[in-house]
Amino acid sequence: MTTTYRFPSRAFAPAVLAASALVLATPAVHAQAADSPVGLWKNIDDQTQKPKALIRITEKDGVISGRIEKILTDRPDAVCDKCTDSRKDQPVQGMTIIEGIRRNADDATLFDGGEILDPNNGKVYRSRMRLTEGGKKLEVRGYIGAPLFGRTQTWIREE
């Protein structure tokens, strides 16, 4: 006796196609995360080695910006009292601190040409970022003049 299996219904076909598309798209999402700084990052203080904030990096028309989404220290209500621009005395949480950064044309892991604000001292520095460890970490450098004269923080991808 021969048993024949019949596909139950054509009603399942869209669900099977949708599931297949999701499985196939998942590696593409991970690949995009590995070569883009877009996402949520935990910044680690370069002096204390402790987490300071969660920073959301976004991209619009090829320009990268970042804002503080959540402060992780004991001062979640901090304001930028040392800022000298429109951010003076504004809450640090929710503040845009990265502006104008673009992907470097010669190095796909490097993003530069913009600025970063240090809300602790109110100063704005030139900035560059480099993805490391397959996009799991981001080296963020703020500097005056040449990149040689500055400091680097390593941020860890949260999502």
pLDDT in tens, 83-115: 999 999 999 999 999 999 999 999 988 999 999
- What are the backbone dihedrals phi and psi of residue 109, each rounded to the nearest 5 degrees, phi first? -90, -5
Domains of the chain, each with CATH number or no CATH: 33-157 (2.40.128.520)
The model's pTM is: 0.77
> Which of 13-17, 74-78, 79-83 tops mean pLDDT?
79-83
Closest by CA position to 43, among listed 76, 77, 74, 66 = 66
Dig out the tokens for 136 from the structure.
Answer: 């799991």
Q: What count of other Cβ atoms lies within 10 Å of the Cβ of residue 51?
A: 15
pLDDT at 48 over 80: yes
**Cα-based distances in Å from 131 to 94, 118, 128, 134:** 24, 20, 10, 7
